[in-house]
Structure 1
Amino acid sequence: MLQKYLRSLNKSINRELARDYVNKAKGHLSLIQSGQLNEDKKRIEMKVNEFKKNLKKSLNELDKYFDSIYNDLEQHLSEGVKESVQLCVDSTEKLIASNTNGRGFHKILAALCKNYGCYWSKNWDVIIDLNKTLAKHLHKHIYYDFCQIFPVTGKTRKSVYEQIDQFSIIQSDSACPSSDILYHIHNFIKIEEIKLKAALNRDIVDKKKEIYSSIQITIVKEMASCYQKAAAVKGTGSMKKMQDLLITTVDEKKQDMFNKAKMEVLTRFKILKRDIKSALQDELEEAIERSQSQTSEKRQKDVSREIEELDRLLEQLPD
């Protein structure tokens, strides 16, 4: 069943890459074809200015979206910090408390400290993760936000994927250009947008993982020196000393540690916003400039037949 699923996934990815490649080629051919046509330069300049104006407007709308999502995320992270500070010591005490097999648990606790807060048995039937336990309240409070911002499937009206899909410098009132050259420029811009959005949506999946995992990574960094000290404890009463050291450190670091985890999430979210905006602005500004400069170049080869061939290829590609 896994092999069947992976084959299907691989075919889907290959189809998507093929579609992106054909679309990219079609966009370039449309731009070349626009150089074949004689047109009033003033009309072209008006269309280019319209694209620039729409880009600025769309980027402002994207700003508003990210600011709204950021405020929600900050509020829920603050609630998570408060709950984490209140409950982290009790959670730590329960997790690392000795069971009836004191000798066996001593080895588990030593392995947990040696592995920076995580222990797993050889057959993975027992997993003890102090970092995950400490991060759970922060994760709980942003879980709904993440489901809304980064849904696996479906629409939420707060999804970053939806915002990118809706982003366009081609407005509805300019969807049907009245002249051939404007049609080809319009087509080139549209294909550049499709290609850029597909690349951004792929990148966002990785950024989502980085943002979510940053909470636990921050906790590991804050607790690292404690784990090292606890792992070095030896001799009589070492298990109690390790337990006390872990509990005391969590208690001492809790406010600063969870605030740092909160700020790390928010910082990475700001970076996500910056990267998305920069990519959209830079790539589309370049596309606009290329569409404008193409019309001032000398007449080039007629590629209308090649464009028709690519249209047929796109129709043949399965969805």
Structure 2
Amino acid sequence: MLHTIEPVIPESHNNDEYDIHDNDARDKLTAVYGEEWTEKSCEQLMEPRYFREIPEFLSSTQKSLPSKSAKDLSESIMKYTRNGTKDKQKEKGWYWPIVKSVTVRVPKNNFLQHVTLVDLPGNGDRNKSRDTMWKEIVGNCSAVWVVADMNRPVAEKEPWEILREISSQLGNGGECRHIHFICTKSDAMDDLHEYNKADAQALILKANQETKEIVNEELNKETKLKKHFSDECLQVFTVSSKDFFRGEYLSPENTEIPRLQEFLQNLNDCQSETLNYVSGAHGILSLIHGANSRGDDGRNEDVCVTLENNLSFQIESMKDKMNNIKANFEKCLQEGVERSKRTCEDILKSALNPKRKSGYQGFHKQLKKAVENGGICKPKKGKEINLNMKLTSSLTDSIDEEFRNTFPNEGKSGPFNGVISKFTLDTEGLKQKYEEFELQLVFLKSEEDRLKTDMRKSIRKQKKIVYRSLTKTVEEAMQDCYKQAALFTGVGTLQNMRDTIEKHVYASKNTMFEDAKNNMMKLLKDLMENVLGRLEKTMKESIELSLRTDEHSLLDVSSELKEVQEIYNELRKSS
């Protein structure tokens, strides 16, 4: 998908007084016009001749590039995925700066059906639109693969910096359940040809094991990462793609690629639950549709009352447990608020006065960029500057463990310490006592399971909003300060920006962190009330529909049965 370029072309762009300092904007302009944009007016730059190759650009629609082979596709998308060589970066026709994303669809590939592989930039992207998308996608990933060279998996700084920087976005602020550290080129040894195949394989496997031990030791040191992920979530692989295809030294299993394939296949197999559910729904609706009218001896009211009593008991039990969770959150967050008040000035001072070998050379530009961009700057090299996350760090640290226990990404307990998973109307236990209502009880059990599954998925999305609210509140509270700091120019700009930010934090610290806590607690309370309300309302309606219909108005599921029948048939064809 391509961006519109008009917002980055000021009407006076060719005026001598105007100079584009924004590299992002300059790169976009050069991608479309080459260097000639500096000599053209805005009206001239909108002439159709510039967009003959990319007419979709003007309407911000997707551009499709169908190809018959992987080689042809690689060649056709090159200009949309690369900046070109250094010599060609100033030439037009290299469109990567204006591309938001590239999606490759491979037809008739059952292996990756329902699974999306996303290749993301190592530590984000300097292009603002792609960086925003990168952060959003990271939060939606169920598994993350970090790829590093086998020969220096620990020495390479970037993979470890990635894990540290995005651990909260993957864990409490995301949905990630697996992090795989993949060491590549496990067979890249210079002297392997001197050994027979068995000895070469033994040598490679020994090196692989040593590498895994080294990486696991390093992972155990990553306290920030361990706050969000258990040992079971972290795995190390040593792979050789070349030997997987050639089989020169290693058996396919020892390249460990089959293990990764199996992992992907298991992700895919999870989708078969859709067919299982629809199949179950189809059977239940068929039974209900074909059931004969039951006798009216008052027993249906007995089972209704029993189910409603069970529902009330379960809801009250859930409320009690959720109130305990709220109390724990309140306690942890209040401790975080007090710690934030005590430490925020020191944390900010460290962020505004980073220790560098080159002193503060270049830092004033990065800080300037940060205040112009809401407190965030992504430099060409080095770590991202995020003043908002720095200021929120004591708050997030205070709640991380409690949050992870309440909303785990992994395991089977589910959200709110498992209270939703444990919810039950005890329909199985009632079948023996009320045999004539077995079909209705089966239906209610199906509704209960469906609702709990839907709610777990919904909570997984909502909990990210709850967690991210801490940083969001602080970010919003800092915006006026950033705007004021961005106005400084000339001599003393760096110190003026520092002073402005520090004064604002000092004046706001008694309310800003308290507001962040209160906002999170409100979102948590709203989420809990929504869960309880939806569960109670839906199950009451299901009980009413299945058991309080008289003999003249039995539940008519003919239309639902027809709809499910069609879905069921389609799923059977594609399975």
Q: Secondary structure at the match of 2:304?
A: helix
Alignment of 1:212 onto 2:467: yes
Structure 1 unaligned regions, length at least 5: none
Contact 2:428/2:441 (<8 A) preserved: no
**Partner SS state of residue 377, structure 2:** strand
Q: Give the superposition deviation at 1:10.
A: 5.6
The equivalences for 1:101-180 within 5 A come to 101-122=359-380, 125-154=382-411, 159-160=415-416, 162-170=418-426, 173-180=429-436
Structure 2 residues without counterparts, runs of 5 or longer: 1-111, 118-260
Structure with greater helix percent: 1
Are positions 1:83 and 2:339 aligned together? yes
Cα distance in 2, alignment partners of residues 267 and 222 from structure 1: 17
- Does the CA contact (< 8 Å) of 2:285 and 2:557 recur in 1? no
Is the partner of 1:110 in helix, strand or coil? helix
2:265 is matched with which residue? 8
Deviation at 1:172, TM superposition (A): 6.2
Which whole-Å CA distance do the structure 2 matches of 1:28 and 1:153 have between them? 33
Q: 1:26 to 1:239 in 2, by over 3 A?
A: same
Residue range with higher mean Cα deviation, 12-21 or 273-282: 12-21
- The reply to whether residue 288 of structure 1 matches residue 546 of structure 2 is no
The correspondence for 1:46, drawn from 298, 302, 315, is 302
**Residue of structure 2 in register with 1:273 after alignment:** 528
- Give me the whole-angstrom Cα distance separating, in 2, the residues matched to 1:128 and 1:265: 24
Is the contact made by 2:549 and 2:555 (CA closer than 8 Å) also made in structure 1? no
One-letter amino acid of the counterpart of residue 388, structure 2: N
1:12 offset after TM fit, Å? 3.8
**Structure of higher CA gyration radius:** 2
Q: In the alignment, which of 4, 17, 20 is matched to residue 277 of structure 2?
A: 20
AA of the residue aligned to 1:60: E
Which amino acid letter does the alignment assign opposite residue 189 of structure 1?
Answer: L
Question: What residue number does 1:198 align with?
Answer: 453
The farther-off stretch of 162-171 and 1-10 is: 1-10
How many Å apart are 1:173 and its aligned residue? 4.0
1:150–1:208 contact (8 Å) kept in structure 2: yes
CA–CA distance in structure 2, aligned partners of residues 82 and 144 of structure 1 = 18
Alignment-mate amino acid for residue 84 of structure 1: S
Cα distance change on mapping 1:172 and 1:271 into 2, 3 Å: same
1:71 paired with 2:327, answer yes
> Distance in 1 between the 2:423 and 2:529 partners?
15
In 2, the alpha carbon distance for the partners of 1:76 and 1:204 equals 21
Query: Which residue type is aligned with residue 40 of structure 1?
Result: D
1:82-137 deviation per Cα after TM superposition (whole angstroms, max 9, x unaligned):
000000001001111164443411101101111111111235x3211111111111
Cα distance in 2 for residues equivalent to 1:115 and 1:6? 39
CA distance in structure 2 between the partners assigned to 1:294 and 1:25 by the alignment:
21
Q: Quick one: which amino acid aligns to residue 50 of structure 1?
A: T
Structure-1 separation of matches of 2:266 and 2:463:
20
State the distance in 2 between where 1:6 and 1:233 align: 53
Q: In 2, distance between residues paired with 1:132 and 1:302? A: 52
Aligned AA for 1:26?
G
- Distance change in 2, residues 1:268/1:12 (3 Å): farther
In the alignment, structure 1 residue 32 sits paired with structure 2 residue 289: yes
Give the 3 Å change call, closer, same or farther, for CA 118–7 of structure 1 in structure 2: same
Map 1:52-67; keep pairs closer than 5 Å. 52-67=308-323
Deviation at 1:5, TM superposition (A): 7.8
Report the Cα offset of residue 230 of structure 1. Answer: 0.8
Question: Could you tell me which of 477, 491, 500 is aligned with 1:245?
Answer: 500
Distance 2:496 2:410 in 1: 48
CA deviation digits over 1:210-258, x for unaligned, max 9? 1110000000000011111111211110110000111111111111000
Who is 2:488 aligned against? 233
In structure 1, the partner of 2:164 is none
Q: Judge which range, 9-18 or 270-279, deviates more.
A: 9-18
Displacement after TM superposition at 1:264 (Å): 0.8
How far the C-alpha of 1:296 sits from its partner, in A, is: 2.4
Distance 1:49 1:106, change over 3 A: same
1:211 to 1:301, Cα distance in 2 relative to 1, 3 A: closer
Give the drift of 1:55. Answer: 1.1
Structure 2 contact 294–551 (Cα < 8 Å) conserved: no
Which residue type is aligned with residue 22 of structure 1? S
Q: 1:260 pairs with 507, 511, 515, which one?
A: 515
Q: Determine if contact 2:545/2:555 at 8 Å carries over to the other structure.
A: no
Identity of aligned residues (%): 23
Residue identity in the other structure for 2:408: P
Q: Given residue 11 of structure 1, which amino acid in structure 2 is its aligned partner?
A: N
Q: Structure 1 CA distance, aligned partners of 2:499 and 2:349?
A: 9
RMSD: 2.8
Q: TM-score, normalised by structure 1?
A: 0.86
- Flag the 1:30–1:74 CA change in 2: closer, same or farther, 3 A: farther
**Contact 1:24/1:195 (8 A) holds in 2:** no
- Cα separation, partners in 2 of 1:300 and 1:258, compared to 1, 3 Å: closer
Q: Secondary structure at the match of 1:102?
A: coil
2:307–2:425 contact (8 Å) kept in structure 1: yes
In structure 2, C-alpha distance between the alignment counterparts of 1:302 and 1:90, rounded to whole Å: 65
Structure 1 SS opposite 2:274 = helix
Q: What is aligned with 2:96?
A: none
Deviation at 1:154, TM superposition (A): 2.8
> Is the contact made by 1:23 and 1:195 (CA closer than 8 Å) also made in structure 2?
no
Aligned CA distance change for structure 1 residues 27 and 260 (closer, same or farther; 3 Å)? farther
